[in-house]
């Protein structure tokens, strides 16, 4: 996408493997490259978010969202961005059910559609649930790969951040993303980049966070 007054300069995403190859070639002497860029903008098609609920035992009308997004760049298979996030969200809910836990609030798993080029899925969800927004207690998204969890990113006011300060230093759904951008939005974003153990770690962390949020005694300040 370009701004109306911006020149349309061609751009391409290069995987880390190709960047390393180019670097090695340049070190050996002058390099001449030919880029064949084939992107095109196709007409919109109808798709959908995928939604599943673990119904709350005391406040079923209140929602804690756990989510990732279904779509990906078409160069790769979208394993890291964001198949991993969808898998983590589903497995987090699965863990809660396997342990026979009963969250007080509803835990809603959402696999968003159309995050990459417009966020139409989340925007449509917000529109469809406009009258119920006040019942959405918290929302989590896993969209940073599936590396070992190392921190927390809370987008909220200062009072909420203070409430989670102790937990933030222990674990959270932020992944070790040192290698994420080696494959992000390239043909190298494939299943072999996923480490099952780290995927399981993320699922456990998200499950704990979601269950804790669903059982908080007092509402989060808005």
CATH assignment of the domain containing 148: 3.40.630.10
* Residue 136 lies inside a defined structural domain of this protein: yes
pLDDT at 199: 92
List the 59-69 sheet strands across, edge first.
50-54, 105-112, 59-69, 136-141
Write out the residue range of the structural domain in which residue 120 sits. Answer: 50-214
Residue 124 lies in a domain: yes
**Residue bearing tokens 């390099």:** 31
Output the pLDDT for position 100.
97
In a domain, 29, yes or no: no
DSSP label at residue 79: I
The number of domains in the chain is 1
Residue 178 lies in a domain: yes
* pLDDT tens across the length of the chain (222 residues): 678 898 888 887 777 778 899 999 999 999 999 988 887 778 889 999 999 999 999 999 999 999 999 999 887 789 999 999 999 999 999 999 999 999 999 999 999 999 998 899 999 999 999 999 999 999 999 987 777 777 667 777 778 777 776 665 554 445 556 666 677 777 888 898 889 999 999 999 899 989 999 999 888 877
> What stretches of 38-157 show up as alpha helix (H) in DSSP?
84-98, 120-128
Q: Is the CA virtual torsion 72, 76, 81, 86 positive or negative?
A: positive
CB-based contacts of 131, cutoff 8 Å, min separation 6: none
Whether cis (ω within 30° of 0) applies to the bond prior to 82 is yes
As given in the structure block, the two tokens for residue 150 are: 């190392």
20 domain residue, yes or no: no
The 3-state DSSP composition of the chain as helix, strand, coil percent (nearest 5) reads: 40, 15, 45
**d(Cα 205, Cα 100) in Å, to the nearest integer?**
17
In a domain, 10, yes or no: no
Residue 175 belongs to a domain: yes
How far is it, in rounded angstroms, from Cα 46 to Cα 90? 23
Residue among 115, 99, 97, 98 nearest 107 (CA): 97
| Residues taking part in catalysis | 115
What is the reported pLDDT for 175? 56
Secondary structure (3-state) at 86? helix
DSSP 57: S
DSSP classification of residue 102: -
Describe the crossing of helices 196-214 and 84-98 by its angle, rounded to 10 degrees.
Answer: 60
Q: Which helix (H) or strand (E) holds 22?
A: helix 16-28
Closest CA to 220 of 146, 134, 103: 134
Which pLDDT value is given to residue 61?
97
């Amino acid at each position: 996408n370009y701004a109306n007054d911006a020149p349309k300069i061609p751009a391409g995403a290069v995987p880390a493997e190709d960047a390393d190859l180019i670097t090695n070639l340049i070190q050996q002497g002058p390099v001449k490259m030919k880029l064949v860029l084939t992107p095109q903008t196709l007409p919109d098609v109808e798709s959908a978010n995928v939604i599943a609920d673990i119904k709350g035992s005391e406040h079923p009308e209140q929602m804690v969202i756990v989510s990732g997004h279904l779509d990906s760049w078409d160069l790769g298979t979208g394993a890291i961005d964001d198949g991993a996030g969808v898998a983590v969200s589903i497995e987090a809910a699965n863990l809660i059910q396997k342990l026979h836990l009963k969250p007080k609030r509803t835990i809603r798993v959402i696999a968003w559609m159309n995050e990459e080029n417009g966020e139409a899925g989340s925007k449509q969800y917000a529109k469809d649930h406009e009258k119920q927004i006040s019942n959405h207690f918290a929302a989590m998204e896993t969209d940073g790969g599936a590396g070992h969890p190392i921190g927390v990113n809370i987008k909220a006011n200062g009072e909420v951040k203070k409430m989670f300060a102790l937990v933030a230093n222990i674990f959270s759904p932020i992944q070790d993303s040192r290698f994420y951008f080696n494959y992000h939005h390239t043909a190298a974003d494939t299943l072999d980049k996923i480490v099952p153990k780290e995927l399981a770690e993320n699922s456990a962390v998200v499950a704990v966070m979601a269950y804790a949020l669903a059982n908080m005694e007092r509402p989060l300040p808005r």
